[in-house]
Amino acid sequence: MSQPVAFPGLAEFLAATTGRNMTKAAYVGVAIGVLMIALLTVDPAYAAARHWIEGVLWGCLAFFAFEWLVRIRTAALKGDARGYMLSGRGLVDAACALAAPIAMLCGVDDRTAWLLAALWIVKVFPGVPGLRRLRRVLVLESRPLLSVLVLFLMVLFLASVAVYFVERDAQPALFGSLPSAMWWAVVTLTTTGYGDAVPITPFGRLFAAVVMICGLGVFGLWTGILATAFAAETRRDNFLRTWESVTKVPFFANLGPAAIADVTHLLRTIDLPPRIVIIRKGQRGDCMYFIAAGEVEVDLPGKKVRLGEGAFFGEMALLGNYLRSANITTTRLSKLLVLDLADFRLLMARHPDLAQTIDAEAKRRTLENQ
């Protein structure tokens, strides 16, 4: 008699699906919850479907509360329940599960309390790779960013004092105090220009022009720091991914770490779905390919050859015959490492052993195809 199948409990299942990235169900819950919050603020929609809207919101809240409890249980099994509950992720999960109910218990109107459910959208952040990268950039560049912030505050205060001194007699209602002048300074430094407070004296207008230029400079510094750091972090991530792919190719197995780093800097990675034509016969070749994962099919006269993980192709066009000799198509999802012609020559000059291996493989394939 066959043994009965043991299905894991719901808690175990959810624990397995709520790891580093948020589950698809949680994404759907956030999307539905945000939609319901929007409908909550539309009077005709709320009056017509109040019970439906609140019912869906309670359902989403129940899911997020259960997810939070499962995360606590999972952390407790690992002996780190306190660490999770005090972490940023744990505090966000707690706020998402408790904020709206606590507001209701404190006597806040239900319609107003549900607005706190907007915190649910914060749960999306851990699942967005770009946001994780941005967080790392902010941490790494915190000192330069803080320095620019201090510069911004200094310019803000000096601009407020100067415009207060120049405009206070001409416009006491708008510039009669330093806090009022600070509002004008913030709007001017950000070049927003609401027009609710505008200098009218000649010196005031001249000074306003200087403040706007200073604002462009300060925000330009912030933009430059973030853009440079984000680009560097992107290159770092790409390098690590390419390194991992290169180490999986047997062709590079005998290279040392320094040589692999050299190769990684020259290669670029592409991911292709099935049935994509990579090379067309008769085209001029300017690169070769290494298969890090997946499979391709080479359409030769009278036969078709399949190349799998670790193989390379396209080198014939780089060794003298610049025209592609066959059509090559992916047969399944594939990750390819691309080596351009200029980088190919540079790599062959640096690593003669690779050049010999590629040349020998090219001669072997030439004999097979004759």
List, for residues 178-214, the tens digit of each pLDDT value. 888 889 888 888 878 777 788 888 888 888 888 888 8
Domain 250-369 superfamily per CATH: Jelly Rolls (2.60.120.10)
When pLDDT is cut at 50, 70 and 90, the band that residue 342 belongs to is confident
Q: Distance (Å, rounded) from C-alpha 68 to C-alpha 261?
A: 42
Whether this model's pTM surpasses 0.85: no
Picking from 196, 213, 203, the residue whose alpha carbon sits closest to that of residue 166 is: 203
Band (pLDDT 50/70/90 cuts) for residue 4 is very low
Percentage of the chain surpassing pLDDT 90? Answer: 11
Whether the predicted pLDDT of 177 surpasses 50: yes
What are the domain boundaries of the chain? 10-127, 142-233, 250-369
Three-state SS at 208: helix
Nearest Cα to Cα of residue 366 among 316, 312, 327: 316
Residue 93: count other Cβ atoms within 10 Å of its Cβ.
25
Which whole-number Å values give the CA distances from 282 to 288, 320, 332, in the listed order? 15, 14, 24
Bridge partner list, 337? 269, 290
pLDDT given at position 8: 46
Over 50: is that where the pLDDT of 337 sits? Answer: yes
pLDDT score for 232: 85
Mean pLDDT of the region 21-41: 81
In sign, the C-alpha dihedral spanning 121, 127, 129, 134 is positive
Summarize pLDDT for 99-117 with one digit per residue, the tens.
999 999 998 888 899 999 8
Region 77-92: mean pLDDT is: 84
Tens of pLDDT, residue by residue over 159-175, are: 899 888 888 888 888 88
Place of tokens 């604002």: 215
What does the DSSP 8-state code read for residue 2?
Answer: P
Question: pLDDT band for position 253 (50/70/90)?
Answer: low
Under 8 Å between Cβ of 67 and 123: no
Mean of the per-residue pLDDT values of the chain: 81
Which is nearest to 267 in space by CA: 178, 214, 337, 202?
337
CA gap 305, 311 in Å, rounded: 12
| Intrachain domains 142-233 and 250-369 with the same fold | no
Q: Which CATH code is given to the segment(s) 142-233?
A: 1.10.287.70
pLDDT confidence tier of residue 7, bands split at 50, 70 and 90: very low
Distance CA 296, CA 363 (A): 20
Comparing C-alpha atoms, which of 236, 217, 218 is closest to residue 228?
236
The pLDDT, as a whole number, for residue 150 is 92
Mean pLDDT of 63-83: 86
User: What confidence category does residue 312 fall into, taking pLDDT thresholds of 50, 70 and 90?
Assistant: confident
